[in-house]
């Protein structure tokens, strides 16, 4: 499977998603906000351990998810990472198009949020089938 960076300011969500991802066979590291995400990505880059995907909350108090998404996709070393953006708030069509423009996936936090994320990550990180 792949290595996933979980970015959310809510401790319960971080703990839930880390456990669910690890149970599904992913390696998961969780950080508590946008600033910590950028710092972790820099650390991972320096140590040669880039992430395969980022699970990114939008509403965070320090650096919001939109700014993190822009930073990730504008950095050539990080731009290929898959991004799943999530929020407990309904997003505008423009916001959804912004995620799609970066080849990201938007998932709404709801009752099946954790299973949906694992299913999406399975598909995003699957090895391409040779023909």
| Domain count across the chain | 1
Residue 56: inside a domain? yes
- What is the CATH number for 35? 3.40.50.2300
With respect to residue 131, please indicate whether it lies within any of the assigned structural domains: no
Q: What is the pLDDT of residues 44-79, one digit of tens each?
A: 999 988 999 999 988 888 899 889 999 999 999 999
- pLDDT value at residue 110: 64
User: What whole-number distance in Å separates Cα of residue 58 and Cα of residue 64?
Assistant: 6
Q: Which domain holds residue 89?
A: 3-124
* Nearest partner of 56 among 120, 128, 111, judged by Cα: 120
27: in domain = yes
Note the pLDDT tens digit of each residue in 2-35: 899 999 999 998 998 899 999 999 999 999 999 9
The rounded distance, in Å, linking the Cα atoms of 81 and 53 is: 5
């Amino acid at each position: 499977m792949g290595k996933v960076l979980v970015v959310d300011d809510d401790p319960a969500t971080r703990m839930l998603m880390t456990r669910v991802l690890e149970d599904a066979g992913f390696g998961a590291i969780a950080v508590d906000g946008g600033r910590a995400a950028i710092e972790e990505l820099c650390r991972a880059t320096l140590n040669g351990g880039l992430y395969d995907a980022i699970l990114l909350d939008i509403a965070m108090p320090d650096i919001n998810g939109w700014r993190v998404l822009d930073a990730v996709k504008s950095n050539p070393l990080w731009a290929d990472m898959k991004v799943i953006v999530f929020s407990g708030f309904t997003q505008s069509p423009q916001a959804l198009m912004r995620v799609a423009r970066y080849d990201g996936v938007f998932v709404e936090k709801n009752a099946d949020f954790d299973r949906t994320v694992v299913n999406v990550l399975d598909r995003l990180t699957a090895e391409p089938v040779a023909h």
